[in-house]
């Protein structure tokens, strides 16, 4: 079975099992159009819905999206409040579609600063979609890769596990998603060449695909292009 879009042939047999996306450029998208930054975020949410739907149709197992970093808390309070309310609104609106499309939604990050009403909606969304068996959508919110590693180390110390029992495989068990395979493909929009503290442990061997396209303009066709490029790469993991 093959999916063809814009002259791109996507082979189902070589699909990445896990795609991670740094969704960057909402603010710049709005600025270029002389619109408030919040309009860029609204358009970004619409684009996210399309990409989630496309990943589901492609039978991708896992999609992890970087929606709000720990560093984003330093943004103007008005923008942060808007984003928190937008997260809550989006979860409530999207859960029926997620259920319809058999998509399970999960959240990762440090949740201490997230408003109580938003956390209540997050837990509700996770509970409602827990039984879904299709695409696993992982949303990183108030997330930092270095913080995740630190939190993992703290768990190991708290459990009193001796150092000789810790290796790369066992360390994975203490990350936020111990049951999730590491990303095969990492996509970053807006043309920036950095991880920005996103899944810094998990992406050690991920294939990177970077585009100058801003997130609100990232179409399903570009996702297919990234996957097509991934399928033409040879992954050696340090071997020959």
Q: Name residue 134's beta-bridge partners.
A: none
- Whose tokens are 């949740």? That residue is 111
Helix axes 77-100, 116-129, angle to 10 degrees: 20
Give which of 230, 223, 228 is closest to 10, Cα–Cα. 228
d(CA 165, CA 199): 23
Give yes or no for a contact between 126 and 52, defined as CB atoms under 8 angstroms apart: no
Give which of 38, 45, 42, 22 is closest to 97, Cα–Cα. 45
Q: Which of 72, 151, 197, 217 is catalytic?
A: 72
Q: Which of 6, 9, 24, 167 is catalytic?
A: 24
* Pairing of β 185-188 and β 18-22: parallel
Is 24 annotated in the active site? yes
In 47-155, where do the E strands start and end? 62-69, 104-108, 136-143
Is 217 annotated in the active site? no
Task: Tell me, rounded to whole angstroms, the distance of Cα 134 from its chain centroid.
Answer: 16
In the chain, where do the E strands start and end? 2-5, 8-11, 18-22, 62-69, 104-108, 136-143, 185-188, 207-210
User: Annotated active-site positions, please?
Assistant: 24, 72
């Amino acid at each position: 079975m093959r999916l063809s879009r814009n002259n791109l042939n996507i082979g189902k047999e070589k699909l990445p099992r896990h795609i991670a996306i740094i969704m960057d450029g909402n603010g710049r998208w709005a600025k270029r159009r002389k619109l408030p930054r919040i309009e860029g975020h609204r358009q970004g949410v619409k684009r996210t819905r399309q990409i989630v739907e496309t990943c589901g149709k492609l039978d991708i197992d896992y999609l992890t999206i970087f929606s709000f970093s720990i560093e984003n808390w330093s943004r103007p309070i008005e923008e942060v409040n808007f984003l928190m309310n937008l997260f809550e609104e989006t979860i409530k609106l999207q859960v029926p579609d997620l259920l319809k499309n058999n998509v399970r939604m999960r959240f990762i990050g440090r949740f201490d600063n997230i408003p109580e009403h938003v956390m209540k909606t997050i837990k509700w969304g996770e509970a409602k979609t827990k039984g879904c068996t299709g695409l696993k959508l992982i949303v990183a919110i108030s997330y930092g890769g270095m913080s995740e590693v630190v939190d993992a180390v703290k768990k190991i110390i708290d459990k009193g596990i001796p150092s000789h029992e810790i290796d790369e495989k066992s360390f994975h068990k203490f990350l936020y998603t111990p049951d999730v395979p590491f990303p095969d493909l990492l996509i970053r929009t807006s043309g920036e060449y950095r991880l920005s503290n996103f899944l810094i442990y998990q992406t050690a061997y991920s294939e990177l695909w970077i585009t100058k396209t801003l997130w609100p303009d990232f179409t399903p066709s570009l996702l297919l292009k990234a996957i097509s490029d991934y399928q033409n790469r040879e992954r050696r993991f340090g071997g020959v």
